[in-house]
Amino acid sequence: MTDLTPDEKRRLHDLTEQIAELAEHHEGQWKVQTTDGMILVAMMSPTAPHGLNVVRLRRQIEAQAPEVIALSDTNMHDPVSGLTKIPDLMVIRETDADDTAKVVNARDVLMTVEVVSPSNSLDDIRKKLKDYPKMGIPVYVVVDPRDKKQTVTVHSEPTDGPDGTKYRRSVPYAFGDTVTAGRWTLATSSLKSYPADW
């Protein structure tokens, strides 16, 4: 999206918000996000293990830092890159939460967490890994509960380079490890994996 003009970024954001408002009036839950100058619309159908993992991580994050809140499935927009995302969890200082805004400013986000979905893993693993550093997200945690994976990877240190803005540090962990993610320490022994047939 670096080749879009500021006016094109604004129009893309406005159109994304209009589509998100339309999606709110239809049955089911929909995520409306942007990447590479495109608007992506996907129906959300979280599984029980997915939801349990998100809740268990949220509790740990908030318990370690009472001044923050971990929001689930909330719109986040970056005015610099023009990108819009809806992470499984985004961590912000409660004082930065604006209850009059339609979206959270990505530049206020301290960390995002995505729990890989069985049906849409490439979005979390590739697209968001490319977009989140451009949005200024300092720490991105990817939890992959798929049967053959069961990993947690912490991406950090978003830095500009000749190949663009990317996370320059990625640390892999296995389920059961104690994970260091920014200022947080996350126990992963209670995370649920997906059944082998998913």
pTM exceeds 0.85 for this model: no
pLDDT in tens, 135-151: 999 999 999 998 778 99
Q: How far, in Å, CA of 38 to CA of 17, rounded?
A: 13
Closest CA to 106 of 123, 89, 84: 84
Q: Which residues pair with 140 in a beta bridge?
A: 112, 155
CATH number of the domain located at residue range(s) 45-187 in this protein: 3.90.1570.10
Answer yes or no: is pLDDT of 192 > 70: yes
Q: What is the pLDDT of residues 98-135, one digit of tens each?
A: 887 888 999 999 999 999 987 767 767 888 999 999 99
Q: Where are the domains of the chain?
A: 45-187
The pLDDT of residue 18: 64
Residue pointed to by tokens 């719109």: 75
Q: Mean pLDDT over all residues of the chain?
A: 84
Cβ proximity of 74 and 86 under 8 Å: yes
Cβ pair 51, 89 in contact under 8 A = no
Contacts of 44 (CB under 8 A, 6+ apart): 28, 29, 30, 31, 73
Q: Which is more confident, 14 or 175?
A: 175
pLDDT of residue 1: 42
- Cα 161 to Cα 182: distance, rounded to the nearest angstrom: 22
Indicate left, alpha or beta for 190 from its phi (over 0: left) and psi (-120 to 50: alpha). Answer: alpha
Residue 63 φ/ψ, nearest 5 degrees: -65, -30
pLDDT(169) > 90? yes
pLDDT tens-place string over residues 3-55: 777 777 777 666 666 666 655 555 445 555 556 665 555 545 456 888 899 99
Instruction: Sheet containing 76-77: give its strands across.
Output: 84-85, 76-77, 104-105
What is the layout of strands, in order, in the sheet containing 139-144?
Answer: 68-72, 89-93, 109-115, 139-144, 151-161, 164-174
